[in-house]
C-alpha cells in the first residue's frame, strides 16, 4: 500500500484471505478450515503440492463431511474449555443468594448523601415482601410501605 493508504480497496482480497487463513485461538483452527474443511492453498503452496503429487494422494483423505465433523467436534471442545476458563475468571466475585419473604435485609440506597440535610446514603433496612423471578425482590420498609423492586446484587443480609 502507499503511504497515504488510498489504495486499501485494491488490497481487500489479500486482507480477507489473511483473516480467513489465520488460526483463531478460540477455535484452534482457521475460519476457512472450519467452514470448508481444508486449509487455503496459495499459489506457491499449490505449485509445491502439485510438484510433490500430494494433491492426487487420497490415502489419508477424509470425505468432506467427515473432515468437517472432526473440525467441528474439536472446535466445540476448545470452545467449551474456553467457556469454562472464562466462567472462572468472570464469575469470580459472583454470589448465590436467595432471600425469603419476611426476611430483614439491607437495600442499597441510590440517593446521594447530603451533609446539609443530615442524610447519609448507606444501606437502608427493609423486609422482603415478595420474590419476583430468580433475582428480583419487592421490598417494604419498616412501616410496611412498598419501597420498590430491587435486584439481588443491591440487597445484603
Please report, for residues 12, 116, 120, 126, the alpha-carbon distance to residue 123 in angstroms, rounded to integers and kept in the order given: 57, 19, 9, 9
The model scores a pTM over 0.75: no
pLDDT number for residue 42: 66
pLDDT number for residue 138: 92
**Across 48-60, average pLDDT:** 64
The mean predicted confidence, pLDDT, of the chain is 78
Q: What is the dihedral sign for C-alpha 75, 76, 77, 79?
A: positive
Pick the CATH number of 104-156 from 1.25.40, 3.30.420, 3.10.20, 2.30.30: 2.30.30
pLDDT for 67-79, tens place per residue? 778 778 888 888 8
pLDDT number for residue 106: 85
Amino acid at each position: 500500500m502507499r503511504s497515504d493508504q488510498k489504495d486499501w480497496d485494491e488490497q481487500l482480497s489479500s486482507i480477507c484471505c489473511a483473516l480467513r487463513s489465520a488460526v483463531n485461538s478460540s477455535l484452534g483452527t482457521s475460519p476457512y478450515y472450519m467452514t470448508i474443511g481444508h486449509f487455503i492453498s496459495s499459489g506457491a503452496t499449490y505449485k509445491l503440492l502439485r510438484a510433490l503429487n500430494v494433491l492426487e494422494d487420497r490415502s489419508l483423505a477424509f470425505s468432506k463431511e467427515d473432515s468437517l465433523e472432526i473440525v467441528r467436534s474439536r472446535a466445540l471442545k476448545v470452545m467449551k474449555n474456553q467457556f469454562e476458563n472464562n466462567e472462572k475468571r468472570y464469575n469470580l466475585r459472583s454470589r448465590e443468594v436467595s432471600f425469603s419473604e419476611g426476611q430483614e435485609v439491607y437495600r442499597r440506597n441510590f440517593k446521594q448523601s447530603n451533609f446539609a440535610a443530615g442524610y447519609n446514603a448507606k444501606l437502608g433496612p427493609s423486609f422482603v415482601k415478595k420474590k419476583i423471578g430468580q433475582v428480583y425482590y419487592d421490598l417494604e420498609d419498616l412501616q410496611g410501605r412498598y419501597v420498590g423492586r430491587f435486584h439481588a446484587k443491591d440487597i445484603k443480609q
